[in-house]
Amino acid sequence: MAMLSARTAAGGSTGSGTTPPGPDASELSAVLGYLKPEDIAQIERAYETARAAHAGQFRKSGEPYVTHPLAVAKILAEWHLDPQALMAALLHDVVEDTHTTKTEIAKHFGKPVADLVDGVSKIERIEFATLQHAQAENFRKMLLAMARDVRVILIKLADRLHNMRTLDAVHAEKQERVARETLDIYAPIANRLGLNAIYYELGDLGFRYLHPTRFRVLEKALKRARGNRRDAVGKLTEAIGARLKEFRVEAQVHGREKHISSIYRKMQEKNISFSEVFDIYGFRILVPDVSACYLALGALHTLYKPIPGKFKDYIAIPKANGYQSLHTTLFGPFGMPVEVQIRTPEMHKVAEAGVASHWLYKSAEEQSKDVQLKTHQWLQSLLEIQSESGDALEFLEHIKVDLFPEEVYVFTPKGKILSLPRGATPIDFAYSVHTDVGNHCISARVNGETVPLGTALRNGDRVEIVTDPDSRPNPVWLSYVATGKARSHIRHYLKTMQSAESAEVGELLLVQALRSLKANPDEIGEEHWKRFFKGDASRTRDEVMADIGLGKRLAVVVAKKLLATPEAVAEGTHRLDSITIRGTEGLAVQFAPCCRPIPGDPIIAQIKKGQGLVVHTHDCPVIHPFHFDPEKWVDVQWDPVPGRLFDVNVRLTAANQRGVLARLAAEISEADSNIEHIETEERSSSAYTTIVFTIQVRNRMHVAQVFKRMRRIPEVVRLTRLKKKAA
């Protein structure tokens, strides 16, 4: 490696005759002692290739470009990553920024190194509509490469860390963009992989460049507080050390200052000023083994009173990234809260290095295997989400949800522990158990009691999911799920179902359109469809039918194109046959909330883009004669035996007497109906009360029966059906 150091001094020329000082590779050389000589020789070859490829290229700071890959490789070497990762780090920009190809890298350094370089490289040769789309596609590529090999993200994090450390050299607009991207994506990924040291450094650097003024103000305030509180921290360290000795606990006590980004986050979350953040210092206690962790905890609780609800046992229940520690917050001297973390040296190694501890600490092998397993499970979930996401932006949206997991730990009925993000609901739990459990979930029991599916779960809850094979995801679930996995599965299922149901409706609409053009639908064969697909973006009949059902295509246009003869495309005057509505078509047919049609009402349907058929009553105010477009409206009729119940809004005015509501509910139930929603309107008279409620009925005749029973109550003075949605 000495040869590498000597060669770096050669640097690269600018073309103008001046040569800036060359990068110093001795720092990288100094941290490669854990590798074999033959491995170091390979890394030296990779360095020579990178130096030659980047010759004449300079960073914004004026340094030769090769200083950047050298710095990235050094960060990875400090984690003791393998030679392949270090070679990929040295070569990570050559495919993106030079004429070197992935094939050439594979030929000289092997396919694994080439795959790592490709995983880190941006997608440069595709044009995207917006920068946002380009970034999302690059993240998707990187995360999917990471799912195959976690070293991809370790290289990318080291790359981002060095870029953030040298961000001073770029203009303010780029500083802000890169800082925001770092805080939104890279810092959370570092946290998710347990790389605490990098997580906090990226957080501080991101905050510094995104909010430079706030950062400077907090930095000055922290320096002042450091001076004022130094004595207090020293005394606390002595007191803690003395108490641990009394309990014969062998321990190292370290006072640690909180990171500026953590302090700022706390100020924002609790809406407090810096002067109110007392716990800017915390303490870390390292003890020999697990039993000593709990003994030390007991000793501290005899020294200062613990603050209720501020104790967390991450040893018994580790975090999703493998992190283990005991956390407690104590009432210190003068009422100052004192945060304490207690862990073993092995736990500390994993806490600082996370998934990188697999390479860095062979002594912590058992724990690092657990970290590797948890990381693997998360990476596999990324592949699942990717397979069900429509595009890169949707994929990134799902991933961001999973990157901010303040965990809650819940139990399955068999006692298995599952980690979910804070705010997770039984729906998230169901999908984390299995996709089918989520898709067919109908209710949940938490700690033995039935709860709504939108209930937020709490630490220690025991959750049981009730399923039904005929049940399916509800679009409303998307408003309260907290995991990317649940969100992507629900969206995927709804899209698939909507497509299938829309294809059925689309076929009915196409048959209707063909008949209106005096064509026999049964005579449309393969030849017609082959002609149709020439020059058309769709590739299958189902795709075309779904587009018609969703209103993305007009059935009459498709029909004319299928017939494709002058006689056939002439405007037909034949009356359109009505489409029969059963009420069980699902997402492809919707009932307009403005008029709430029910069987027996004269109806007409509107083809609405992206929604399919929306059914209205004939007298709905939405159907304005001046804006009526015949091509967007379809004649529909009710099936004689509809397959579902329909909502009807009712306004009732009754004398204000005790027991009226109970009798109303009883009469509605006797009429074989059900109340879905109820509320009272503002009183204009103390003698009468007006109630607006929604009931479920089969048809207009059923409404009449329900009304007849309600009118038997003497106190009812007025009863009408509302043709608008209840509030």
Per residue in 393-434, pLDDT tens?
Answer: 555 555 555 555 567 778 888 878 787 887 889 999 999 888
Cβ neighbors of 177 (< 8 A, separation 6 or more) are none
What pLDDT is stored for residue 387 in this prediction? 56
What digits encode the pLDDT tens for the residues 305-364? 998 888 889 888 887 777 889 999 888 876 778 889 999 998 888 887 776 665 655 544
Long-range CB contacts (< 8 A, 24+ apart) of 446-453? Answer: 451/426, 453/425, 453/426, 453/427, 453/477, 453/480
What CA–CA distance (Å, rounded) separates 512 from 519? 10
**Tokens describing residue 200:** 């906090």
Report the range out of 90-104, 284-298, 610-624 with the highest average pLDDT.
284-298
What pLDDT is stored for residue 165 in this prediction? 92
- Where do the CATH 1.10.3210.10 domains begin and end in the chain? 2-213
What pLDDT is stored for residue 509 in this prediction? 80
- Span 292-310, average pLDDT: 91
- Span 69-94, average pLDDT: 90
> Homologous superfamily of 2-213 in CATH?
Hypothetical protein af1432 (1.10.3210.10)
What CA–CA distance (Å, rounded) separates 144 from 152? 10
Cβ neighbors of 501 (< 8 A, separation 6 or more) are 549, 585, 586, 587, 588, 589, 612
- Span 695-714, average pLDDT: 91
User: Does position 41 have pLDDT exceeding 70, yes or no?
Assistant: yes
What CA–CA distance (Å, rounded) separates 552 from 534? 19
Q: Is 541 helix (H, G, I), strand (E, B) or coil?
A: helix
**Mean of the per-residue pLDDT values for the chain?**
79
What pLDDT is stored for residue 627 in this prediction? 54
User: Does position 254 have pLDDT exceeding 80, yes or no?
Assistant: yes
Compute the C-alpha angle 116/122/127, nearest 5°.
Answer: 145
- Where do the CATH 3.30.460.10 domains begin and end in the chain? 219-363
pLDDT class for 545, splitting at 50, 70, 90? confident
Compute the C-alpha angle 404/408/413, nearest 5°.
Answer: 135
CATH architecture of 646-722: 2-Layer Sandwich (3.30)
pLDDT class for 258, splitting at 50, 70, 90? confident
- Residues noted as catalytic: 96-97
User: Does position 385 have pLDDT exceeding 60, yes or no?
Assistant: no
pLDDT class for 572, splitting at 50, 70, 90? very low
What digits encode the pLDDT tens for the residues 441-475? 989 999 888 888 889 998 778 899 999 888 888 87
Could you please state the CATH topology (level 3) that the domain comprising 406-482 is classified under. Ubiquitin-like (UB roll) (3.10.20)
Beta strand 646-655 pairing with 612-617: unpaired
What pLDDT is stored for residue 10 in this prediction? 39
User: Does position 160 have pLDDT exceeding 70, yes or no?
Assistant: yes
Q: pLDDT: is 330 or 499 the higher one?
A: 330
pLDDT class for 125, splitting at 50, 70, 90? very low
What digits encode the pLDDT tens for the residues 502-530? 777 788 888 887 887 788 888 888 888 88
Gyration radius of the chain over CA positions: 34
User: Does position 164 have pLDDT exceeding 90, yes or no?
Assistant: yes
CATH architecture of 219-363: 2-Layer Sandwich (3.30)
- Where do the CATH 3.10.20.30 domains begin and end in the chain? 406-482
**Tokens describing residue 438:** 């989520």
What sign for the dihedral angle of Cα 266, 268, 270, 274?
positive
User: Does position 99 have pLDDT exceeding 90, yes or no?
Assistant: no
What digits encode the pLDDT tens for the residues 171-211? 888 899 899 888 888 888 888 777 888 888 999 999 999 99
What digits encode the pLDDT tens for the residues 227-244? 666 677 788 889 999 999
What pLDDT is stored for residue 378 in this prediction? 59
- Span 85-94, average pLDDT: 90
User: Does position 727 have pLDDT exceeding 50, yes or no?
Assistant: no
pLDDT class for 20, splitting at 50, 70, 90? very low
Q: pLDDT: is 374 or 698 the higher one?
A: 698
Give percent of the chain with pLDDT exceeding 70: 77
Report the range out of 206-210, 677-681, 687-691 with the highest average pLDDT.
206-210
Q: What is the pTM of this model?
A: 0.55
What pLDDT is stored for residue 202 in this prediction? 93
What pLDDT is stored for residue 27 in this prediction? 79
Give percent of the chain with pLDDT exceeding 90: 18
